[in-house]
Structure 1
């Protein structure tokens, strides 16, 4: 039976359900999303799962990650958790994602027991509703028709069902990029209903938060991660949870890139519920290197 969005979503939920192989040691599998290495969001989500399973009380409020090496999609990833601190209100965990004896990603996550306090937030930008916008999957099929014949693997990567549905406010064609301001808004949600488990939704949001940040930094330069002379990768990633998300309802990812230099681009993101609550904030630096005269 061929993959469908609901089957791919269930596969992602299963992918986040790590195997506990020893105290503080967990193992996860990977999936091929069409890139050259393991998707960084998968590692973030699995690392947060591993950290969460060693915390008795409290919920994740932030994580900070460095991507150290490309991950191999055909090998399992072992997550080693260091219980750095257990305090009265906060707990901290360090997670090493390891393949072939070497770390591919290093994550520190912080957890807090719920408490009341002062509250304020940035306003949600005014954008069209997700129902009024075209799904990214439909846009990609049109762009592929306009582009003509494409390599088989690229066709597969652009058309394979995803666990998330995306609806861009101002669509950007990565097969024929134009130059525009380094900012974009994209609605997204899980491709089906999810169990009402807050931990799962936090880990799903960590997974989803790695999408589209790099693209935002590329926008002013008519550069695309789909171009064969581009080498792109996430370098580091920070995520702060302000509220418990519901990833199976529409969320707006509002992104802007204030700077790019030295073949690196910096992007900030804010994730809002459709009711206007600021759910999470994100920051990421990416490699965006063009190799002159070389095709990969």
Structure 2
């Protein structure tokens, strides 16, 4: 069994220890250690030509498999290693096929589909024990220095991130609820102990709402590698994304039996630092058939739109939540449009 570098994270770089070691919580948000851990979370190691392996995987509390954003980021990291430094990522399109097992390294096979003068295309298959768990296509381009057309949507007006509580502070407040069921209390405690290297600040929007917004940045500094910053933005873009569809229906997290990404697409418009505040503006136009759709826009603090995202995911109600709906709508059945 590989060892753990921080709570719920399994590292495959050190085979000396036979059992996972759960480390203590770290220092403040400026602790450089967080930046190192974030870089490790998206890093891959070369096995052979066009073949890479995950250095570590994260199993979020209550999740069925490895965090999807980490798989996206590691696949992007592997693809980056096969293109020249003059190329920047401009889009990715991916499908999640099976949950990732955090006790088994993910192998990333990169196929070099095209190497042109302006664009390069890669296809990455992520597999475990001979089975594909994730596939993605990546398109890279060289910066265009000619005179260009340019426009963008305006960033919504939102509170500054410093005025908002962190995700950990919100979880700690949730623990103060006197009527909280024991299983939810234990789940919240586990989430607090995870010590995420990304600081998320939710912007309160009354439910139900088709919109969700949050600020995010890494807790530590990441250095000047713009490819690393792109990978970390891809990593964070999957967090809470499909949950926007559940919020649009007014369903709390405890009312869901499953929230899982099915596919994930991103368009990168402009380089940005992931260790500085970024606003994630999300909305869900539709949910049906046990699936929810979400679109997102990521802005820098000065209002520059740096990425656009899209995702569809599974959003399945718990039996308790289904029973509540049946009580409210006695004639509700599986063929109902409600």
Q: TM-score, normalised by structure 1?
A: 0.92
Aligned to 1:103: 132
1:166 maps to 2:192? no
Aligned to 2:180: 148
Deviations 1:161-191, CA, capped at 9 Å, x for gaps:
11110111116xxxxxx84112011111111
Greater C-alpha Rg: 2
SS of residue matched to 1:108: strand
1:61 maps to 2:90? yes
SS of residue matched to 2:152: coil
Q: Which of 132, 155, 158 in structure 2 is aligned with 1:124?
A: 155
Structure 1 residues 105 and 224, CA gap change in structure 2 (3 angstroms)? farther
In the TM superposition, structure 1's runs of 4+ consecutive aligned residues that sit over 4 Å from their partners are: none
> How many angstroms apart in 2 are the aligned matches of 1:140 and 1:2?
18
Aligned to 1:222: 250
Q: Structure 1: give runs of 5+ residues left out of the alignment.
A: 172-177
- How far 1:293 sits from its partner (Å)? 6.1
Q: Which of 22, 28, 43 in structure 2 is aligned with 1:17?
A: 43
Deviations 1:30-80, CA, capped at 9 Å, x for gaps:
122212200000000000000000001311111000000111111100000
> How many angstroms apart in 2 are the aligned matches of 1:96 and 1:281?
23
- How far 1:225 sits from its partner (Å)? 4.0
Aligned to 1:246: 273
- How far 1:245 sits from its partner (Å)? 1.2
1:135 maps to 2:189? no
RMSD: 1.9
Q: TM-score, normalised by structure 2?
A: 0.81
> How many angstroms apart in 1 are the aligned matches of 2:65 and 2:251?
20
Q: Structure 2: give runs of 5+ residues left out of the alignment.
A: 1-22, 323-338
Count how many residue pairs are aligned between Structure 1 and Structure 2: 288
Aligned to 1:202: 230
Q: Which of 108, 117, 121 in structure 2 is aligned with 1:92?
A: 121
Aligned to 2:336: none
